[in-house]
Amino acid sequence: EAQVTQNPRYLITVTGKKLTVTCSQNMNHEYMSWYRQDPGLGLRQIYYSMNVEVTDKGDVPEGYKVSRKEKRNFPLILESPSPNQTSLYFCASSFGGSEQPQHFGDGTRLSIL
């Protein structure tokens, strides 16, 4: 089944404790991205990747890192999480090409205390 898989789905942690949210897709997509969703602000893009070893900042990259060492994986890293990063996170992927629809994972709900 074609899908985007995020792990973990839920995480409660404390300020400053490094964490990684994994994202994997099995559709051989070139393009992957991370979004966060907050009430009243909609979905905002954090980082995106056009292909392996090619990443760039989205609209709200501060406090986050990403890497794209393999085509299928695009982990989101919070080196020193803070409470303002408490949010619902989504990973998405698509084939290259501006008209290609994006496929989203089921989301990761992070709570930073």
Partner 1 sequence: DAKTTQPTSMDCAEGRAANLPCNHSTISGNEYVYWYRQIHSQGPQYIIHGLKNNETNEMASLIITEDRKSSTLILPHATLRDTAVYYCIVRVALYGETSGSRLTFGEGTQLTVNP
Pick the closer one to partner 1 by CB: 62 or 98: 98
Q: Is 22 in the site for partner 1 (CB under 8 A)?
A: no
Site string for partner 1, 35-74 (x = CB under 8 A): x----x-xxxx--x-x-------xx---------------
Q: Please give the helix or strand (H or E) that residue 81 lies within, else none.
A: none
Tokens of 104: 């989203």
List binders of partner 1 among 83-102 (CB under 8 A).
88, 90, 92, 94, 96-102
Using the structure block, give the residue that is written with the tokens 């794209």.
68
Pick the closer one to partner 1 by CB: 56 or 70: 56
Residue 16 CB, shortest distance to partner 1, in Å, is 27
DSSP state of 52: T
Backbone angles phi, psi at 2, to 5 degrees: -70, 125
Residue closest to 63 by CA, chosen among 110, 3, 1, 99 = 110
Residue of the chain from 65, 71, 72, 103 that contacts partner 1 (CB under 8 A): 103
